[in-house]
Amino acid sequence: MNNATINSTQLWIGAQNIVKAQAIAHVQKNYCHSLGCKTCSICKQIENEQFHAFMMLTTSKSSYSRADLDAIFAKIILVRGPQEPFFCVITQADKLSDSCANSLLKLLEEPPLGWHWLLLTDRPQELLHTIKSRCVVTEFKPTQQENCYSQIFTFLTAKKYGDILEFHQLLERTKISDYESRLLLDDIIKFWTRESLSNNKYLGITSYLQKCIGQSPMPGSSKIFWRNVYLNVSSLVN
């Protein structure tokens, strides 16, 4: 094992595909003799989630159940050492139910010898404070298309809306992710909330955007989401 190990309990915040790729690359860097070549048998085993010292939990359900954690508890009883660490990655950590989170608290706060936790989420606001307080937090902010991000913000905070075709063309040029969309939606809501404090006519926009929080885009549907937002907000402004 290479000497690249991070603190034992980490919370990584960012778009799901980004933080998952970062987690896999981190484990590869720790075990690959070439520090993460991505082509050797070890790197391939880790990428395919078949490596003996690596476990990645994920769920398609609305939340994790205690049964989902059985694999963790089955392995954690095995004694490990500093030279044989085990990496446990929990994707969509915001889906940990209260009972699941509580069952992990002691393990996260005082990890057994050799255990390292990586909790991944793109919805940190939905993660229990008791979990976040036990983690070293790293946020993977969007590093690309910042110009498009700001242009979409400008379109959706205009007091008078223009040609929707121009907005459609902007969306076609960008590849805004579902995670970036949630950040952008938060910024737009903050803008219209401030505006509504001085002008009641904008209360309808704020109310509509608040409802959009529960309908934020799924992976691959961001463009459709923002087209609908533009149409609805423009009708409320004009």
CA proximity to 119, closest of 83, 154, 87, 92: 92
What is the band of 1 on the pLDDT scale with cuts at 50, 70, 90? low
Q: Which residues are registered as beta bridge partners of 55?
A: 88
pLDDT of 88: 95
Domain 9-139 annotated CATH 3.40.50.300: yes
**pLDDT reading at 82 higher than 70:** no
The domain limits of the chain are 9-139, 146-237
**pLDDT reading at 8 higher than 80:** yes
pTM for the complete prediction?
0.63
**pLDDT reading at 79 higher than 70:** no
Q: Which residues are registered as beta bridge partners of 118?
A: 10, 89
Please provide the size of the chain in residues. Answer: 238
pLDDT of 81: 65
Burial of 19 (0-12, 13-18, 19+ CB in 10 A): buried
Beta-carbon contacts of residue 212 (< 8 Å; ≥ 6 apart):
185, 225, 229
Furthest-apart CA atoms within the chain: distance in Å? 66
**pLDDT reading at 184 higher than 80:** yes
- Tokens 């993460």 locate to 36
**pLDDT reading at 143 higher than 60:** no
Distance of CA 115 to the CA centre of its chain: 22
CA proximity to 228, closest of 181, 196, 186: 181
